[in-house]
Structure 1
Amino acid sequence: MALTDISIRQAKPQEKTYHLPDGSSLFLEVTPSGGKLWRYRFRFNGKAAVLALGKYPDVGLAEARNKAGEARKQLSEGINPAAQRKSDKLAAKLSAANTFRAIAEEWHAKERHEWSEQHAERVMTSLELHIFPFIGSSPIKDIKPLELLEVLRRVEKAGNLDTCKRLRQRCSSIFRLAILTGRCDSDPAAPLVGALKTPQAEHRKALNRDELPEFLHALKEMDSNRQTKLMMELMLHTFTRVGEMSMARWEEIDFGSKLWTIPPEHRKLTDISKKSAAPHLVPLSDHALAILRELQAISGGREHIFPNRNSPNRPMSPETLRRALHRMGFKGKADVHGFRSTASTILNEEGFNPDAIERQLAHVERNRVRAAYNRAEYMEERRRMMQWWSSYIAQQQGDNVVPVNFQRAG
């Protein structure tokens, strides 16, 4: 006799599990704990088996009959419904693991040890805002270039060209991971380079040769804290990064060796690189040493060369120099970081060894093979170069100094 919803609801648990048949091998299993489970009994290749179809009332009578009907159809086609169920579950699990979002999270976890916590958070936030809502749940192997282009163009149309560029690069890295792990065959982000607008690079404002004397005169006349002026001068003479300068400590300066040793933790490196990187050595010219000796009279008893006036145990903020540039009338005309470009341009024009200049700038060699073999510090060459550079600055200030001819000095 076929079951009804009333008979199912009225079925009471007994001491032992019992079955209520519905016909055509479908039955309801009632357990001593009160559970009511749908089961379908079948034979495949001469072997008896039972297929679980769900729990009542989550699966109602009509749905249970439909599921039993699907199982009978599979049997008629020579398919084992129990084996097919396992296969479908595995496919669903693999599909969930192979979505763009799943692989993006895997890529993020793999790469984040190379990044700062803030950068890792920014990367994931950008994907959550701009990518995941549109293709996050899609199987990564099914995503086509046109589909990804449509997603990225949403960002482009909003005017966020830099973000769009970074998102394309991050998506490309995610697809490459999927290719390497056999979960897709191509990188649909790769061909989109020419289809997206290229953001215009905004270079740091740098002084040229003709502007340097005017800047130095303005620096000399600037009505400002003496420590701030000396910090600006030392930046010019060493063209280090402003963060390295603001964090500089007296223990890093060796007056006898005329050397400033910048520790890895103060350098512009990834967190992981800082753990193994060497310190950056900065040879100090006589002019730079004279500035440092004057600074000793101001802050020699403190840890930092440029202590913060309001919190003497902390270093001066790099923002101090930016504000000083504005007071000098160079807002939009010069940038503290631009001192590095100014020095690099003039030293290259004067014929100094480009490798020595790059080493002085602490730039990372992008060619990994070259970086592995070219670890020379060019120290003696850089000492002469930095002395020439300081003499050149002094000459532009109007001092009676003639820069050493580098070629003859070698």
Structure 2
Amino acid sequence: MSLTITRLKSLKPKAKPYKVTDGRGLYIEITPSGSKLWRFRYRLGKSQKKICIGSFPEISLAEARDIAFEAKRKVARGDDPALEKRKQKIRNEYLAANTFETVAREYIEEMMVKGGLAQATIVKANYFLEQLAPAIGNRPLADIEPFEVLAPLKRLEGLGKHETAKKTRSFAGRVFRYGVATTRCTTDPTSLLKGALRAPRPTHYAAIVDPKKLGGLLRAIDDFDGYILTKYALQIAPHVFVRPGELRHADWDEFDLDEGIWRIPAGKMKARRAHAVPLSRQVVTLMEELGAQMGMEGYVFPSTRSRRRPMSENALNAAFRRMGYSKEEITAHGLRATASSLLNESGIWSPDAIERALAHGDSDAVRGIYHRGRHWDERVKMAQWWSDHLDELKAKGRNIEAKKRSVHC
């Protein structure tokens, strides 16, 4: 006899489990605890099998019959509902263990930390993950749709953080592509978001391009009475004009002072290509002085708190403010624009050599020996000329000041 709602509700527990059939393989099992569990029994070949559908009243009588009917159709096609259910359970567990945050942290560890990328790059990756985690961190990677990624990106955009939104989307894309490569998902939904964010305005870093004012800056740096490592970083930065992050993360092992070369590994460069910086006599002297005072191990410019960490990201800019220069006048990154402008204005050096010195568009593969690339000889001469030129600009102001003092005397 088929079951009814009234009969289902009247079924009472007994000392041992017992079954009441509904027909066509569907039955309900009542346990001693009072639970009422739907089961579907079927035969596949010579094997007698069963699957658990769920409990009553969470699964109603009508729903249980529909599920049993669909299972019966699968059996008629030769499929095994129990096997499919086990596969689905494994898949669900697999997806639950492969959320966006789980895969993202694995990507950071495997591809970035073990790949030897700069600590600053890894810190930024974790920051991008923090922006995405509230929205999609707990979502299975394979189930995430484009609109879910777009929501946190639009939130950043709404805060005016256009560049952060763009870089966060790029990070998410790398995680999804890593997921595809490791069979955790099949597509990168961020590929459909191109054009969905407003393009960030290009950042222009404040820079001094007037030679007289540059001389004044160099004299102010020499007179700086702050932390000794900060002063040396300020003195060296105008001569080498690398990015501030590359200077802060400089390691003594990267320098060959006898040969006059600073070899920066690919992991520390913005374009992920190794770069070599020719060192003038002035820079070598400053490096030797610094090494004699502070030692030549680990970071060249370590943090004041720990030699195992690089100098603070804001250390140089804070020093400029202390010296009386506003953020509209000069920034650490602006020293690159200073060098680029004045080197180009000199008319002595080829634009290609200047661009290569700035590590712009450097597409050459690393050849094992960093300093045998194009324009190297010209760059060596240019580095020395630039340092000599900086010394001249610095000295002119001092000579004028000395003459003024002698006249007043």
Q: 1:32 to 1:365 in 2, by over 3 A?
A: same
Contact residue 19 and residue 27 of structure 1 kept, 8 A: no
Secondary structure of 2:268's aligned partner: coil
Name 2:365's counterpart in structure 1: 371
| 2:280 maps to amino acid | S
Name 2:206's counterpart in structure 1: 205
Contact residue 29 and residue 37 of structure 1 kept, 8 A: yes
Alignment partner of 1:329 out of 321, 324, 332: 324
TM-fit CA distance, 1:285 = 2.6
In 2, Cα distance between equivalents of 1:291 and 1:161: 39
| 1:199 maps to amino acid | P
| 1:127 maps to amino acid | L
Matches within 5 A, 1:248-327: 257=258, 259-261=260-262, 264=265, 268-269=268-269, 282-289=277-284, 291=286, 295=289, 300-303=292-295, 319-327=314-322
In 2, Cα distance between equivalents of 1:138 and 1:291: 51
Q: C-alpha offsets along residues 8-63 of structure 1, whole Å, 9 cap, x if unaligned? A: 41x213xxxx8544452555668999998654444568x673423357xx445984
TM-fit CA distance, 1:175 = 5.2
Q: 1:119 to 1:39 in 2, by over 3 A?
A: same
In 2, Cα distance between equivalents of 1:78 and 1:310: 72
In 2, Cα distance between equivalents of 1:260 and 1:335: 25
TM-fit CA distance, 1:259 = 1.7
TM-fit CA distance, 1:199 = 1.6
| 2:190 maps to amino acid | A
Bigger drift between 379-388 and 113-122 goes to: 113-122
Q: C-alpha offsets along residues 134-164 of structure 1, whole Å, 9 cap, x if unaligned? A: xx469648x3x66765664344234332232
Which ranges of structure 1 fall in alignment gaps of 5 or more residues?
Answer: 401-410
Q: 1:358 to 1:105 in 2, by over 3 A?
A: farther
| 1:390 maps to amino acid | S
Secondary structure of 1:204's aligned partner: coil
In 2, Cα distance between equivalents of 1:177 and 1:291: 44
TM-fit CA distance, 1:110 = 3.5
Secondary structure of 1:51's aligned partner: strand
Contact residue 343 and residue 349 of structure 2 kept, 8 A: yes
Matches within 5 A, 1:129-148: 129-132=134-137, 136=139, 140=143, 143=145
In 1, Cα distance between equivalents of 2:151 and 2:47: 53
Alignment partner of 1:235 out of 234, 237, 241: 237
In 1, Cα distance between equivalents of 2:261 and 2:285: 14
Q: Which has the larger radius of gyration?
A: 1
TM-fit CA distance, 1:334 = 0.9
Name 2:401's counterpart in structure 1: none
Name 2:48's counterpart in structure 1: 49
Q: 1:317 to 1:132 in 2, by over 3 A?
A: closer
Name 1:345's counterpart in structure 2: 341
Q: 1:192 to 1:214 in 2, by over 3 A?
A: same
In 2, Cα distance between equivalents of 1:104 and 1:287: 48
In 2, Cα distance between equivalents of 1:73 and 1:327: 76
Secondary structure of 2:198's aligned partner: coil
Matches within 5 A, 1:172-191: 172-174=173-175, 176=177, 184=186, 189-191=190-192
Q: 2:123 matched to 1:128?
A: no
Name 1:153's counterpart in structure 2: 154
Name 1:406's counterpart in structure 2: none
TM-fit CA distance, 1:342 = 1.9
In 2, Cα distance between equivalents of 1:251 and 1:23: 79
Contact residue 130 and residue 155 of structure 1 kept, 8 A: no
Secondary structure of 2:378's aligned partner: helix
In 2, Cα distance between equivalents of 1:216 and 1:7: 95
Secondary structure of 1:195's aligned partner: coil
Name 1:225's counterpart in structure 2: 225
TM-fit CA distance, 1:230 = 5.3
| 1:167 maps to amino acid | T
In 2, Cα distance between equivalents of 1:380 and 1:241: 22
Q: 1:233 to 1:121 in 2, by over 3 A?
A: closer
Secondary structure of 2:48's aligned partner: strand
Secondary structure of 1:346's aligned partner: helix
Number of equivalenced pairs: 371
Name 1:404's counterpart in structure 2: none
Q: 1:230 to 1:101 in 2, by over 3 A?
A: closer
Secondary structure of 2:365's aligned partner: helix
Secondary structure of 2:207's aligned partner: coil
Contact residue 207 and residue 331 of structure 2 kept, 8 A: yes
Matches within 5 A, 1:30-41: 38-41=38-41
Contact residue 44 and residue 78 of structure 2 kept, 8 A: no
TM-fit CA distance, 1:127 = 1.7
In 2, Cα distance between equivalents of 1:126 and 1:389: 42
Q: 2:162 matched to 1:167?
A: no
Contact residue 38 and residue 53 of structure 1 kept, 8 A: yes
Contact residue 259 and residue 281 of structure 1 kept, 8 A: no
| 2:237 maps to amino acid | M
Q: 1:340 to 1:382 in 2, by over 3 A?
A: same
Matches within 5 A, 1:105-124: 105-106=102-103, 109-110=106-107, 112-115=109-112, 116=119, 117-124=122-129
TM-fit CA distance, 1:387 = 1.5
In 1, Cα distance between equivalents of 2:186 and 2:78: 29
Name 1:12's counterpart in structure 2: 15
Provide the identity percentage.
Answer: 25
| TM-score scaled by length of structure 2 | 0.66
